[in-house]
Amino acid sequence: MSRKKIKSALISVYYKDNLEKTVKMLRKQGVTIYSTGGTFDFIKNIAEVHSVESLTGYPSILGGRVKTLHPKVFGGILSRRDNSSDKEDLAKYEIPEIDLVIVDLYPFSETLASDASHEEIIEKIDIGGISLIRAAAKNYRDTLVVSSRSQYAALLELLETKNGFTDLEDRIRYASDAFETTAGYDRDISDYFASLLNREKFTLNISPANRLRYGENPHQKGIFYGKLDEIFTQLNGKEISYNNLLDIDAAFALMGDFTETAYAIIKHNNACGCAADASPLEAWKKALAGDPISAFGGIIITNSPVDINVAVEINKLFFEIILAPGYSNEALNLLKSKKNRIILDVKPSGRQQKQFRSILNGVLVQDTDSISEDIPYLKQVTKKTPSDREINDLLFANKLVKHSKSNTIVLVKDKQLLASGVGQTSRVDALKQAVEKAKNFGFSLSGAVMASDAFFPFPDCVEIASKEGITSVIHPGGSVRDQESVDFCDRAGMSMVITGYRHFKH
């Protein structure tokens, strides 16, 4: 039979929060409850419960390491209700059928993330709980398994809606979640033991799966694995696409390096406009002025709450997405005037420490580029010292160049992106592209600064920059011919600083 009545349940959980309503509902529906340890002590104060020890005839031993590992427990979970031989075994050994298993595992990952000792971490490796989950999930045709406290509310709703019955589809869904839970749990343990040996390994278990309309192109299937609601809340607009997510990720990475009020406009993972200013309105206007053509259909991000004054100006532009840490009611109502416009309220969150991508027949993994240079990183290599304004612009430009596709050159003045050349096979071409773009939008490069994501192998870039009126340069350094660029800057009266950190982005 597809539909099954829950007549008995085994409950063994670490966290008891929000469990009381479920226990009471089970007893109301006449379910016999078995439990052990701290869970038994919790339940006995609110409902009738039988100890696992009374079922097995054995006490909890080895300091609690062995409680439920017994044939009378696992026989009841794994028995096939339509199998005559299984029924005979249950009758012979007086084993009750168990229709529901609720387990919340020892918090291994949480313990690992704390300052716990190795011994404390080891003791948080769940043995009985993980075995109960696997057994119940394997016998999904007859047994429902709840493998996480995050499912308590859904279980309660299921019990209420179906009056204590479950369907095969319910049990398959919960079994799938259970094996996902055990896979992730075992992965974390495996990673920990690998770290004890300084052994590199790559495993990944991210959920849930969010099916997208399509991938990078309409003929490609696209799925995002992860919990976007931990990063932002969508307040308006259509479904977020694969390409939207790539731009959102690029926007988050860039804005994460700014502490002062800033606005940026992202197009194809690169900033086409960016500016910082004490006034959010001025920051927006300057960011848009950097490239009002590319801004069309772009993604806007700011680290400042959006008020009505800024919203009025932003609303004049067609854009797909805006990300901000809050909106005034007036601003939000105005921005919502376009029903498809995606409005995201950004939550405080950290960046992932690792990046990975699939290539060939494997996966590339690297540390996230978390270096964001400040004044102590700068080493002056020219006779001329950059002014305070130039230093501020150099640091601003270096943030932008870090988050632009290589090869890239960025031109900045007064904390405003004037232009950039991105994704070029030649650094000279990147500079020429940036210069031409700046001129097309009416910017004077006199007094501007230049940033490069990598060193200059020849002095050609600083020669071009000098002719255009650029007065200061920042780059990583590291070329065997660095001195040629330094010597030219000295002759031209330019200043140059190096950081020692390259920022390739491919």
Give the catalytic positions in this structure. Answer: 138, 268
Please report, for residues 5, 150, 202, 204, the alpha-carbon distance to residue 187 in angstroms, rounded to integers and kept in the order given. 34, 20, 10, 8
What distance in Å separates the CA atoms of residue 485 and residue 396, rounded to the nearest whole number?
Answer: 22
Across-strand partners of 51? Answer: 35
Q: Encoding tokens for residue 20?
A: 């009381």
Taking the CA atoms of 122, 124, 130 and 131 in sequence, report the sign of the dihedral they define.
positive
Residue with tokens 């007064």: 414
What distance in Å separates the CA atoms of residue 74 and residue 488, rounded to the nearest whole number?
Answer: 79
CA angle 255, 413, 485 (to 5 degrees): 100
Residue type (1 letter), 251: A
**Which residues does 493 contact at the CB level (< 8 Å), separation at least 6?**
384, 471
Q: Encoding tokens for residue 308?
A: 């009505």
276 and 415 Cβ atoms separated by less than 8 Å: yes
Percent of the chain as helix, strand, coil, to the nearest 5: 40, 20, 40
What distance in Å separates the CA atoms of residue 418 and residue 221, rounded to the nearest whole number?
Answer: 37
Which of 76, 119, 81 has the alpha carbon at shortest distance from 101? 76
**Which residues does 207 contact at the CB level (< 8 Å), separation at least 6?**
180, 184, 225, 226
Alpha carbon 207 to chain centroid, angstroms: 11
Continuous segment of H or E residues that includes residue 7: none
3-state secondary structure 399-439: HHHHCCCCCCEEEEECCEEEEEECCCCCHHHHHHHHHHHHH
DSSP for residue 459 = T
DSSP for residue 167 = -
- Other beta carbons less than 10 A from residue 255's beta carbon: 23
SS3 297: coil
User: Length of the chain in residues, anyone?
Assistant: 506
